[in-house]
Amino acid sequence: MSRPSAHTQMNQYETDLEKYLFLDDLHDRNEVLFYKVLVDNLSETLPIVYDPTVGDAIKQWSKDYRRSRAIYLSIDRPEDVRASFETLGLGADDVDLIVVSDAQEILGIGDWGVNGTDISVGKLAVYTAAAGINPARVIAVNLDVGTDNEALLNSPAYLGNRHPRVTDARYDDFIDLYLKTASELYPKAMLHFEDFGPSNARRILENNRDKYRIFNDDMQGTGAIVIASVFPGLKVTKESFADQRLIVFGAGTAGTGMADQISAAMVRDGLSREEAKARVWPLDVDGLVTDDMPNLPNYQAAYARPASEVADWTRTNGAISLLTTVEQVKPTVLIGTSTAHNAFTQEIVEALSAGVERPILLPLSNPTERIEVMPTDAIPWSKGKALLAVGIPVEPVPYEGTDFVIGQANNALLYPGLGLGTIVSGASHVSDGMLLAAAEAVASQVDPSALGASLLPSVDDLRASSAIVALAVAKQAMKEGLAANNPENLVQAVEDGMWQPVYPETSA
């Protein structure tokens, strides 16, 4: 009698959280088999090992604690940072990638302190499954700087530091210590930052991207996948980035990261930096962000609109609404990262479609209960005019005889290949040019010319897609003089760099 496969065993469980726990246990018991299940069933398993199911697992992490695959670093014991890494016994040439989080802004669920450890573990699992990053050459790190989650602080089961988040100079010193130590011990590793708070994320990236091989997926990766969504849309509208007017609804880490990438693309298409910023309108819970608002965080201040510019715009309870902004600006691109479900009402979508012939509409919040508008509404409300990509997997939308295929703006389409290309080339930094090359490589995999065509490729062929992205990124690193490695056959080098989930051969 044959034994059931691991994939069959996984599907015996009813809930995704139960499947997550099964796969987590399998990861501990048999890493090769764990990745074989993931690689052979990527579209099915990625939402289980990462977003959104990992969020449910994180909420239960302290209560369900089994073991941790991550290095734990406490802000209360900075003297242990180097020693903690050294317990791994890995040398300077043994590590390609480190993912670190302080868990302040986990996905859409907020601050989960040390419970957020598995966000780094899950991210590395996607890197390996999607792009073949060798799991023996990666490290997951949790930075425990406290938590402001009162429920955790008052829970007897909570395993982290029982004090509020440290926000003074000690926090910056701790980040500096982490970067210095990690880069000294593992000088070839890409240092990936994940789910940091908005102000911290931007400050850490801006202060350190020229000194270290650092990458922030929430800002740079999310921004680049939006660029990848816009590229095919521009092929349809026959415009350039310099022609765009962008509204970002939800001006946090992700939203401003998208504004950064799109405004940088505007500059590459001929605008000055100031001209590019003048084509971005950010909105948050208080409406349109203007420069007379008190205590603007650094990530919003860069794009705040002059108060004098909008002095005569209609206000509701003192705020300039999204609808008013859409009517005034007539945006060519509307992005949603607000997690405000159904915020893009019929009136807003109709106003967007009245302003330009083929608007690019990107409601990217997830999971489903947080998306700004469902495609089943957006397509008919726009009369099929909107060029749409979303942050969740959705079925095609039939409308007037055409099935509109809706691409998922999933960062997993981009960051695994970006990481692989960085590793293969030995790039000293992750440059804007490398991010753009990754976005173009993703966009190159679709043909948007037909009515209803997707703006993004499917995750079903993610390993092949990641190889295409890696090749483009490595070529760009070499072009910019950032590459330490310059293989004669770059295609073969990328293929050779992709670890496969197979058992090693043993000698007879």
Query: Model confidence over 299-331: pLDDT tens digits?
Result: 888 899 999 999 999 998 889 999 999 999 999
* 416 neighbors 127 (Cβ within 8 angstroms): yes
Pairing of strands 70-74, 138-144: parallel
Residues 461 and 322 in one domain: yes
Alpha-carbon span 204 to 172, nearest angstrom: 8
Per-residue pLDDT tens for 8-54? 999 999 999 999 999 999 999 999 999 999 999 998 999 999 988 89
Percentage of the chain beyond pLDDT 70 is: 99
Alpha-carbon span 80 to 103, nearest angstrom: 20
Per-residue pLDDT tens for 465-508? 999 999 999 999 999 999 999 999 999 999 999 999 999 876 55
- What's the mean pLDDT in 406-434? 95
Establish if 108 belongs to a structural domain. yes
DSSP 256-286: HHHHHHHHHHHHHTT--HHHHHTTEEEEETT
* 106 neighbors 116 (Cβ within 8 angstroms): yes
Task: Identify the domain boundary among 196, 230, 256.
Answer: 196
Establish if 205 belongs to a structural domain. no
Distance of CA 473 to the CA centre of its chain: 17
Establish if 461 belongs to a structural domain. yes
> Residue 1 — pLDDT band, cuts 50, 70, 90?
very low
**HSE on the CB side for 20, CA within 13 Å?**
24
Establish if 361 belongs to a structural domain. yes
Q: Which two tokens stand for residue 505?
A: 């051969």
User: CA dihedral in degrees (409, 412, 418, 421; nearest 10)?
Assistant: -130
Geometric angle at alpha carbon 455, from 449 and 458, rounded to 5°? 120
pLDDT of res. 507: 56
Residues 139 and 249 in one domain: no
Neighbours of 15 (CB within 10 A): 11
* 391 neighbors 460 (Cβ within 8 angstroms): no
Residues 248 and 182 in one domain: no
Question: Which has more confidence, 107 or 385?
Answer: 385
Query: What amino acid is encoded at 467 in this protein?
Result: A
pLDDT of res. 63: 86
Establish if 384 belongs to a structural domain. yes
> Residue 55 — pLDDT band, cuts 50, 70, 90?
confident
Residues 425 and 455 in one domain: yes
- What's the mean pLDDT in 396-407? 96
Residues 282 and 422 in one domain: yes
Per-residue pLDDT tens for 332-341? 999 999 989 9
> Residue 3 — pLDDT band, cuts 50, 70, 90?
low
Alpha-carbon span 479 to 221, nearest angstrom: 21
Q: Which two tokens stand for residue 496?
A: 């050779």
- If one counts the domains in the chain, the total is 2
Establish if 208 belongs to a structural domain. no
pLDDT of res. 66: 79
Cβ contacts of 45 within 8 Å, gap of 6 or more: 23, 37, 38, 129
Cβ contacts of 54 within 8 Å, gap of 6 or more: 20, 107, 118, 119, 122
Residue 258 zone, left/alpha/beta (φ > 0; ψ -120 to 50; rest):
alpha
Which CATH number do you get for residue 118? Answer: 3.40.50.10380
Which residue range is the domain that position 417 belongs to? Answer: 217-502
> Residue 138 — pLDDT band, cuts 50, 70, 90?
very high
- What's the mean pLDDT in 433-453? 95
pLDDT of res. 2: 54
Establish if 9 belongs to a structural domain. no
Residues 410 and 477 in one domain: yes
What share of residues in the chain are helix, strand, coil (percent, to 5)?
50, 10, 40
Question: For the chain, how many residues are written?
Answer: 508
pLDDT of res. 164: 97
| 103 to 17, 258, 417, 433: CA distances (angstroms) | 20, 21, 24, 29
Residues 366 and 256 in one domain: yes
Write out the H or E segment, with its range, that includes residue 216: strand 214-216
Alpha-carbon span 335 to 261, nearest angstrom: 13
| β-sheet bridge partners, residue 387 | 360
Burial class (CB in 10 A: 0-12, 13-18, 19+), 369: exposed
Residues 192 and 244 in one domain: no
Per-residue pLDDT tens for 361-398? 999 998 788 899 999 999 999 999 999 999 988 999 99
Q: Which two tokens stand for residue 161?
A: 């530091």
Q: Which of 51, 459, 482, 463 is nearest to 254 (CA)?
A: 51
Residues 262 and 362 in one domain: yes
Q: Which residues of 126-153 are buried (b: 16+ CB within 10 A; e: fewer)?
A: bbbbbbbbbbebbbbbbbbbbbebeebb
Establish if 175 belongs to a structural domain. yes
- What's the mean pLDDT in 77-101? 97
Task: Identify the domain boundary among 163, 196, 229.
Answer: 196
Burial class (CB in 10 A: 0-12, 13-18, 19+), 260: buried
- What's the mean pLDDT in 260-271? 93
Instruction: Give the chain's mean pLDDT.
Output: 94
Write out the H or E segment, with its range, that includes residue 97: strand 97-101
Which CATH number do you get for residue 443? Answer: 3.40.50.720
Alpha-carbon span 448 to 288, nearest angstrom: 32
Check pLDDT > 70 for residue 221: yes
Residues 473 and 411 in one domain: yes
| β-sheet bridge partners, residue 316 | 319
* 13 neighbors 26 (Cβ within 8 angstroms): no
Residues 186 and 319 in one domain: no
Residues 173 and 221 in one domain: no
Q: Which residues participate in catalysis according to the annotation?
A: 50, 123
Q: Which residues of 85-114 are buried (b: 16+ CB within 10 A; e: fewer)?
A: beeeebeeebbbbbbbbbbbbbbebbbbbb
